[in-house]
Amino acid sequence: MDQPASNGGASLLLPHEEGIPVGAGPRPPHFSPVLTILSAFILISAFALFGWLQFTLPRLERIASPDRALALMVGRMMDLEEALRQAPAWERLLYDLTSGGSLDEQALAIVWYEELAASSGDPVVHLYLATLEAEAGRLDQVRHRADDWEGRRNPYPFFARLIRASYLEPRLDRAVELELQANLAEILPSDWFYDRLAISLATRAGDRALFSSVAETLAARGKLLLGRTRKFAAIEIALFVAGAIALVVIVARRRDPGALSIGTSHVPPPWRGRIAAVVLVRGGAMGAVLTLSLQFVEADNLLLRGLAIPLINLPLLVLAYRHLLRPTGVGFGQWLGLRPSQARWGRLAVVVPAVLAAGVVGEWVLGLVAGSLHLTSHWTEWFDEDLVWGTVPVLGTSIVEYVVMAPVFEEMVFRGLLFATLRRRFGWIGSALISTAVFAAAHGYGALGFASVFWTGVLWAWAYEKTGSLLPGMVAHSINNLAVCLADIVFLRV
């Protein structure tokens, strides 16, 4: 157990640290080396387990219904692609620039479906893969699949007949087409895959009425998605313009050291760095144990889920208050910079748009680089089943978790504690890079997701450094997460 320091007790702390003279302030606490080493072991083990799971657990196993999820995602993606083909050239160019859309979406969908087909026993998954290949002009592969399906159990023989009639036979008898259309409507939902197969059958049979009807349905879905895409793009451009103006204001005032000051938080902080290191290790270990414990709790408990992030971070914050804030006379409001004067609130309206605009530019550049290198994030990284299919209470809990809880507590821990503590030894750039690397790694994304989170984390660290407040980072973090949630809801849920 932790005890007050005594002359004969062993201590992990040096008697003084740079910037804090010997004898200044309250007497430093004595931490049991055994507990600290045990905590470090738990924390390192937790990170190792997390990393091992990220590299060994198949991505598809992280989604409860990958077949259903991928069909929805690819269907909506292809619907949007169909609509974009009818859009003006300048709009298609703008879409490519802002989303990395230079990637071949159809080829990407085929890669995703090849991965899913290798592990799924659902015959419809294989039909969807063949449909994508046929639409991409890979008819040799489609022909090979159809031949292979002939010797399998139902419904594969029917799928072979359907695929041949849709893509491999030049003409189709009208009666056969009507039979295939009726069976197709019973098997598949009304989505992009159904529409493409139905259109192809109607084209080969000369069924103009059915062709027009399905084509209109396909165009209507694409038009709806294109309209939503335009609204998102307009909001993104508006944020960029507002942020660009804010950046001009910031550059114009760069020689005034207090021009961006919002809060009263001091960076570097007044606490001892080595005490803070012990606090981070012990608090992080307790948080890791709580995280593991919550995995065994009923997932349908929405109250517990909504409070999970505060509960996991509570031990660290309690330790921080006891050993870092209270001994130095710093309160939570001062530490976080949450009590700006009335005159300083307006500066928040300058810093937040600037940070958001820089984040948008970073995403654009990252998308262009990824497109040129043919890199992409795995689709499971940004598909959230609760946002797409969850009930209204589940949806509301998820939004609170992502938009309120995560920004507040992640900024307190990664910027307010980790970044601030590193600032006692390093410059702001080194501290930002180290703390943000930990922050990005904790999200468990692939290379592109890591780079995206890393870039925004550096921006939020800069905002904390320059403003003396976590408010800009919290607000920008919240808006960023809200945009991600809305994208899932608007493009996939409704």
Rounded Cα distance between 77 and 85, Å, is 13
Considering just the CA atoms, what is the radius of gyration of the chain in Å? 28
Q: How far apart are CA 198 and CA 463, in angstroms?
A: 54
Closest listed residue to residue 63, CA positions, set 141, 119, 136: 119
Looking at every residue in the chain, the average pLDDT score rounds to: 88
Give the per-residue pLDDT at 19: 40
Distance of CA 371 to the CA centre of its chain: 19
pLDDT in tens, 178-222: 999 999 999 999 999 999 999 999 999 999 999 999 999 999 999
Query: What is the predicted pLDDT for the residue at 222?
Result: 94
CA torsion sign, 99 to 85 to 381 to 300? positive
Q: Which pairs count as long-range contacts for 112-117, CB under 8 Å and 24+ apart, including other chains?
A: 112/70, 112/74, 112/379, 113/70, 113/74, 115/60, 116/60, 116/66, 116/67, 116/70
Helix or strand run (H / E) with residue 89: helix 89-99
* Spatial separation of the C-alpha atoms in residues 120 and 131, rounded to whole Å: 17
**Distance of alpha carbon 23 from alpha carbon 459, whole angstroms:** 37
3-class DSSP assignment, residue 57: coil
Place of tokens 């493009």: 491
Q: In the chain, what are the domain boundaries?
A: 33-43+256-493, 65-228
Question: pLDDT in tens for each of the 494 residues of the chain?
Answer: 444 433 333 333 333 344 444 334 556 778 899 999 999 999 999 999 998 988 888 899 989 899 999 999 999 999 999 998 888 888 887 777 666 555 678 999 999 999 999 999 899 999 999 999 999 999 999 999 999 999 899 999 999 999 999 999 989 999 999 999 999 999 999 999 999 999 999 999 999 999 999 999 999 999 999 999 888 888 888 888 999 999 898 888 878 877 888 988 888 998 888 999 999 999 999 999 999 888 877 667 888 888 999 999 999 999 999 999 998 888 888 888 888 877 788 889 999 999 999 998 898 888 888 877 878 888 999 899 999 999 999 999 999 999 999 999 999 999 999 999 999 999 999 999 999 999 999 998 988 899 999 999 999 999 999 999 999 999 999 999 999 999 999 999 97
Residue 374's CB: how many other CB atoms inside 10 A?
A: 11
pLDDT at 103: 60
Residue-level pLDDT at 297: 74
∠298-300-301 over CA atoms, to 5°? 75
Q: Which residues pair with 30 in a beta bridge?
A: 3
Q: Is the peptide bond before 155 cis (omega within 30 degrees of 0)?
A: yes
Is 470 buried (19+), middle (13-18) or exposed (0-12) by CB count in 10 A?
buried
Q: Are 39 and 316 spatial neighbours (Cβ–Cβ below 8 Å)?
A: no
Residue with structure tokens 């984390």? 457
**pLDDT reported for residue 173:** 92
This prediction's pTM: 0.88
CA distance 146 to 309: 50
Examine residue 268 and say whether the peptide bond preceding it is cis (omega within 30 degrees of 0).
yes
Residue with tokens 């190792």: 48
Burial class (CB in 10 A: 0-12, 13-18, 19+), 15: exposed
CA distance 449 to 383: 13
Please name which of 341, 316, 492 lies closest in space to residue 421, comparing C-alpha atoms: 316
pLDDT of residue 102: 54
Quick one: DSSP state of residue 29?
Answer: P
Give pLDDT tens digits for 232-269.
888 888 888 999 999 898 888 878 877 888 988 888 99
CA angle in degrees (0–180, nearest 5) for 479-481-485: 115
* Residue 3, φ and ψ in degrees, nearest 5: -135, 160
